[in-house]
A and B are shown apart, each in its own frame.
Chain A
Amino acid sequence: MGFAPLDPILHNQLRLAVMSLLVAVDSADFNYLLERTGATRGNLSVQITKLKEAGYIEVTKSFKDNYPNTACRVSAQGLRAFEAYVAAIKGYLGK
Chain B
Amino acid sequence: MEQTLTPEESLKVIESMIGQAKRSFSRLSFYFLLWGVLLTGAMLATYLLDDLEPSIRHGLPWGVAGIAGGLISSVYGARQSKHEPVNNPMDRIVGWVWGGFVITMLLLLFGTLRNGIDPGAPITLLTGLPTFLTGQILRFRPLILGGLLFWACGIAMHFTTEAGILTALYCGAMVLGYIIPGLMLKRQEDGLRTA
| A interface residues, Cβ below 8 angstroms from B | 6, 11-14, 16-17, 20-29, 31-32, 35-37, 39, 43, 47, 64-65, 85-86, 89, 92-93
Contacts and interface: CB of A to CB of B under 8 A. Distances in A.
B78 to A, nearest CB: 13
A25 B11 contact: no
A45 to B, nearest CB: 13
B187 interface: no
A26 B89 contact: yes
B7 A13 contact: no
B8 interface: yes
A17 B21 CA distance: 11
Given A36-B17, A65-B82, A93 B11 contact: yes
Contacts of A39: 1
Specify the main secondary structure of chain A where it touches its partner. helix
B88 A25 contact: yes
Specify the main secondary structure of chain B where it touches its partner. helix
Contacts, number: 83
B9 A13 contact: yes
B17 A21 contact: yes
A92 B7 CA distance: 7
23 contacts: A11-B4, A11-B5, A13-B1, A14-B1, A16-B17, A20-B14, A20-B16, A21-B18, A21-B20, A21-B21, A22-B21, A25-B21, A25-B87, A26-B92, A27-B86, A28-B87, A29-B85, A29-B86, A31-B85, A32-B86, A92-B7, A93-B7, A93-B11
B17 A20 contact: yes
